[in-house]
Amino acid sequence: MIVALELIAPFFLYILAGVTAQLFLRHGDEQQRWLDAFIFYVALPALLFQSVRVVPPNDNNLVGFLAITTSITGAMFVLGWLIGRKNRSGDSPAVFGLAASYSNIGYMGPALTVAVLGPEAGAPAAFIFCADVLLIFTIWPTMLGHDSRGLGRIMQPLRKVLTHPFILATLAALLFAQSGLTLPAYIDSPLTGFQNAAAPTALFSLGLTLARNRGGRVERRLGACLTAKLVVHPLAVAAAFVVVSGFDPVWIATAIIMGALPPAANVYVMARAEGISVALAARTVLYGTVFSAVTLPVLIYLLT
């Protein structure tokens, strides 16, 4: 257990540093924009590219692996949506769906899994990210019932996903891996530097966001969704890989950790963009992250 705490403690210290900085400096969203731009367009894409480019080509188990992880993410969204239906506060059931399913697979996922399981975890983390983001950004507008119909409802989120920097970095890494080329040192060195900066900056930024959007109680429905996210989701992934065997143990452990991550900061961003259940989304990210400080070390202890 001590080893698990030592592995995960730095990640929550990065978040705590961001919370502390925001409490003292009281910067607004606009002042955080350039830090987020560096994370979103440079640091995390570099982490994903450096991790995926060393993946052996022609992995025949990839489709089956993603079918399992993505199906469970979708099932968790439906579970959260059902929990949130007809709530007295009038909050959107779709936000409850995000609370139960959308892991922090961008900011926390690749960095944490690589730190816990080694560089071999970078590739499955990147693939899970791609598949889950494609799923979530397809379900989200559908559940909200936007005015667009038919093909337009599908193509609009699909365009956003396919132009996402993380997706582009993963695709570029796969093409590079297939090419058989090697990176020259003058390119590999700065990419490694950006890769190493990904976890501290991303989690520091998450801390800034949490500190600005805090407070409120954990109502019964939100508590149920967070339990689903932090406990049921990773248990469902583990159970699925017990039933369907034949996958690399590191990939399985990566999938379980990705499922156990707290709700993504994007839950708040997406709710704010739509102007729905913003307070609920803020509580989701805040309390989900706080509770995961207990659940994640336990899970990592069991895995390692």
pLDDT at residue 241, as a whole number: 95
pLDDT score of 149: 52
Q: What integer pLDDT is reported at residue 151 of this predicted model?
A: 54
In CATH, the number for domain 2-303 is 1.20.1530.20
* Domain extent listing, the chain: 2-303
Cα Dmax for the chain: 59
pLDDT of the residue at 253: 95
pLDDT of 23 reads: 92
Decide if 8 contacts 199 (C-beta within 8 A): no
| Burial track 84-111 (b if 16+ CB lie within 10 A, e otherwise) | beebeeebbbbbbbbbbbbbbbbbbbbb
Q: What is the pLDDT of residue 147?
A: 47
**What is the Cα–Cα distance from 282 to 236, expressed in whole angstroms?**
26
Residue matched to tokens 């801390």: 207
Neighbours of 190 (CB within 10 A): 12
Torsion angle (degrees, nearest 10) of CA 147, 151, 157, 159: -140
- Residue by residue, pLDDT tens for the chain (304 residues) are 666 677 778 888 988 999 999 999 888 878 888 888 898 889 888 988 887 787 654 456 888 999 999 999 999 999 999 999 888 888 899 999 999 999 988 778 888 898 888 888 888 988 898 888 888 877 887 777 554 455 555 566 667 667 778 788 888 988 898 888 889 999 999 999 998 888 788 888 888 888 887 667 788 999 999 999 999 999 999 999 999 988 999 999 999 999 999 998 888 878 877 788 888 988 898 899 889 989 999 998 888 7
Asked whether 8 and 296 are in contact (CB, 8 A), the reply is yes
Burial bucket for residue 15 (CB in 10 Å: 0-12, 13-18, 19+): buried
